Structure 1
């Protein structure tokens, strides 16, 4: 199955399948309500009202699909995918309210035998037509939902299937009443209401979980963790956090690298992780990578280490004669294991580590000193321009 990854194509596909569903729902609702009254089938009328309510849910789905396509902006830095989530929550709430209304009406008729209706044979044909149409619509919508990774369309697809199931229950109820079981039609309507309520609660719960920043599925998170671990330069992966944003996902992760690499190399590793995740996992649209020189999940207790300005001030105060041009020297600080480790690049070969250690040994934060000597490498092309 070819996935639809382009945002505009995903939105267009969602809008098309929703419009088709709306037209079918409108046709079915008219047929079922008219035949329900004509054939005196309470369950079929309830099912027709359910199909009519689908038009409102289809409108919400269509609007959410249009809105969610908008690119991230200043007010919505993570995009507009949550509009799909809100629409799903609305859809679940609407289903629950419809179920309560249908169930209440059926219960009143059940406890008032004079109000029970005797359906005719037309109700059976209407129920059969509804089953076939809604099941076909379910498969079509689910196919598009999987292509476009849309949870909202998945919810709408199952909404269509719930209609098909409810029509099956209606069919059983109508047939039962025609066989002399007068109460079966009202009981079937209550069964339809219970199924609709179950679907509404499930959709609403899933949407609320997503609004509460629930993580991706555990298997998907482990796939992401494993993939990051394969990136060159990554020693370990921890503090991996994910969250769903409609049909997309956001990832925050800490990666452990060699402690003494340069900032630019660490940045390169983070770029490789970010771009690779977006390319390998289609649903990931935002990645934040934190580069760690050591495991910071359980940081050691101790005093706060001094920043560069304080370290330079200590060097200037204690080693001014050894390092007269300190401001022009390349000084690299490594903050590891609760200490500061110095790497100093010098042109003067006369300065030794032991000389600096003697001057700086009483600094409690100092871990080690490494001196690097500058070697000028002559460009062979400049030395021999003619290749001689």
Structure 2
């Protein structure tokens, strides 16, 4: 059974969109007051948070798990494509942070950064909102199995580290007038943002290229537990365990009539569904005389 959690995903994305717009506006306001380039860059980074929420809403709208005539395997890859879009936004944010730092180095005569205690308190509020959004999205994302929420939570987590770094630099400026902190801290922040984007790509690309989802040995072991199964081979799987899995196999059964073979395959499907479901399983039945030792496809060399 395929579970459609898109309504809950959209609700979470709408809530976080409103919170991200609040965070973005507050960062931009404090950045304008203080003249901090790193904080303005952080505000630009937060623009991508809102864009990610909009992208997630669009992707969720088209990512129905239910098949139709044009998409017989469902539409869930749209959500993985949306997650890759978030990775692209992270790359843009990384470039913006580096660009702002380099401009500051090349223009050392710019107006100095000024900061007050009240402005630091506003940034602490921003940090608290970001922490709430990240953990809220991640919790719901793992509970409903949503790549778009998990990816967006990772993006927001990178925003937390950006804000912490910027806040640390502004505290250094406030206490010791270390103006150079506004530039130096931008580079490790950019690296953290880049790593978040790479992680999103690494987790979603296997789904898009139909990488093996379950080891064929595991599927083989489950199938052989069913009485009447002699062997199975040519096992293939794709999808995401816990969300939706597609399994194909050839099953050698000890049956002389179609009704018995059908009963055996139904039992195999039920056990695979219980172990790895939700799953969509296609089984090709073969007679007991069929001989085949390879349980999966050979590796290309």
Give the aligned partner of residue 327 of structure 1. Answer: none
Is 1:120 aligned with 2:115? yes
SS in 1 for 2:186: helix
* Matched pairs, number: 290
The whole-number CA distance in structure 2 between the counterparts of 1:205 and 1:62 is 22
Where does residue 137 of structure 2 map in the other structure? 141
**Are the structure 2 counterparts of residues 117 and 181 from structure 1 closer, same or farther at C-alpha, using a change threshold of 3 Å?**
same
Segments of 4+ moved more than 6 angstroms: none
Question: Does 1:44 find its partner at 2:35?
Answer: no
TM-score normalised by the chain length of structure 2: 0.87
Matching of residues 68-217 of structure 1 within 5 Å: 68-69=63-64, 71-115=66-110, 117-121=112-116, 122-178=118-174, 179-216=176-213
Structure 2, unpaired ranges of 5+: 295-301
Would you say 1:291 and 2:288 are equivalent positions?
no
Shift in alpha-carbon separation, 1:15–1:225, aligned structure 2, 3 A: farther
Alignment of 1:275-354 (within 5 A): 275-284=270-279, 286-292=280-286, 293=288, 294-297=290-293
Q: Is the 8 A contact 1:116 1:182 kept in 2?
A: no
Cα distance per residue 1:295-324 (max 9 Å; x no partner): 4356xxxxxxxxxxxxxxxxxxxxxxxxxx
Measure the CA separation in 2 of the matches of 1:202 and 1:242: 23
3-state SS of 1:115 partner: coil
Once residues 214 and 38 of structure 2 are traced to their aligned partners in structure 1, the CA distance between those partners, rounded to angstroms, is 39
Q: Which moved more, 1:223-232 or 1:164-173?
A: 223-232
- Bigger Rg, structure 1 or 2: 1
Which of 53, 59, 67 is the aligned partner of 1:58?
A: 53
Alignment partner for residue 18 of structure 2, among 19, 23, 33?
23
Rate the CA distance shift 1:125–1:267 in 2: closer, same or farther, 3 A.
Answer: same
Per-residue deviation, residues 114-145 of structure 1 (Å, max 9, x unmatched): 23641403442233222211111122111211
Q: Name the SS for the 1:261 alignment partner.
A: coil
Task: Flag the 1:146–1:255 CA change in 2: closer, same or farther, 3 A.
Answer: same
Between Structure 1 and Structure 2, the one with more helix by share is: 2
Distance (Å, rounded) in 2 between the aligned partners of 1:270 and 1:252: 12
CA RMSD of aligned residues (A): 2.5
How big is the shift at 1:276? 3.6
Task: After TM superposition, give the deviation of residue 34 of structure 1 in Å.
Answer: 0.6
Which residue does the alignment assign to 1:241? 236
Instruction: Give 3-state SS (helix, strand or coil) of 2:250's partner.
Output: strand
Query: Which ranges in structure 1 are unaligned for 5 or more consecutive residues?
Result: 299-388
Q: TM-score, normalised by structure 1?
A: 0.68
| Alpha-carbon spacing, 1:117–1:297, altered in 2? closer, same or farther (3 Å) | farther
